[in-house]
Amino acid sequence: MANPAQLGFQDAATPIMEELLHLHDHAMMVVFLISAFVLYTITLLLTTPLTHTETMNAQMVETVWTILPAVILILIALPSLRILYLMDEISTPPLTIKAIGHQWYWTYEYTDYENMAFDSYMVPTHDLSPGTLRLLEVDHHTVVPVDSPTRVLVTAEDVLHSWAVPALGIKTDAVPGRLNQTTLTASRPGLFFGQCSEICGSNHSFMPIVMEAADLNTFENWSATMLQQ
């Protein structure tokens, strides 16, 4: 969960999010070095009265400042393509969840179980328990087992939505008539909060998402309870 005045990302809860954080730090370091070099060059141009005549019209300098940015872009693009491939790689996960966006709630279907589906509504402010988060708590959490690959199928029934959980590194569009898929593997137990991140209407910010990662025994007990309801 993000803290007030937090400048960085939330703590990663999946291997994909850890890779995204590393890519962000890598890109920010490259940007910092480029910015420092440009600032240093501008400072020299503004403070020295001398002019090096050979650099005013030199093919070598032009070649360097053409090739060097291309090399820098490649150093950023290669890790990015690797992570993009990892995010799209979905083989045969043991658990599949279908998330369906509505105005203004989510419906979850555990397709590996028979008749296991529920709606997830935001808890009104006057019904919140002490310690719960306003505008982020829901009446039914989406529970997944820890260290187990989970496929999430995302779609919508009315307008465009977006199923996003920052700590898990997931942001997938929910499009009516289209079935998008993503994958997650929770690396630690906990509660992870998200929201609909698409401008799908006046109340699009009131479609919270709560993913609960638990150990396998807890998940099996929860699923047995949900099947009995």
CATH number of the domain that 36 lies in? 1.10.287.90
| pLDDT tens track, the chain, 229 positions | 777 888 889 999 999 999 999 999 999 999 999 999 999 988 988 888 776 666 666 677 788 888 999 999 998 999 999 998 888 888 889 999 999 999 889 999 999 998 899 999 999 999 998 989 999 999 999 999 999 999 999 999 989 999 999 999 999 999 999 999 999 999 999 999 999 998 877 777 789 999 999 999 999 999 999 988 7
Same domain, yes or no: 99 and 81? no
Same domain, yes or no: 80 and 110? no
Is 102 in a helix, a strand, or coil?
Answer: strand
Domain boundary among 54, 69, 88: 88
Residue 6 lies in a domain: no
**pTM, two decimal places:** 0.85
Same domain, yes or no: 146 and 173? yes
Same domain, yes or no: 68 and 162? no
Same domain, yes or no: 109 and 152? yes
Same domain, yes or no: 103 and 29? no
Same domain, yes or no: 78 and 190? no
Residue 27 lies in a domain: yes
Report CA-CA distances (Å) from 61 to 35, 57, 67, 136, 214.
19, 8, 10, 55, 58
Same domain, yes or no: 84 and 99? no
What's the domain range around 49?
15-88
Instruction: Supply the pLDDT for residue 53.
Output: 63
Same domain, yes or no: 203 and 119? yes
Number of domains in the chain: 2
CB atoms within 10 A of CB 21: 16
- The CATH number that applies at residue 120 is 2.60.40.420
Residue 1 lies in a domain: no
Residue 65 lies in a domain: yes
Residue 4 lies in a domain: no
Closest CA to 211 of 163, 159, 155, 154: 163
Same domain, yes or no: 213 and 153? yes
Same domain, yes or no: 110 and 153? yes
Same domain, yes or no: 25 and 131? no
Domain boundary among 50, 66, 88: 88
Is residue 168 a contact partner of residue 17, using CB atoms and an 8 Å limit? Answer: yes
Closest CA to 214 of 142, 151, 112, 122: 142
Residue 49 lies in a domain: yes
Domain boundary among 88, 123, 146: 88
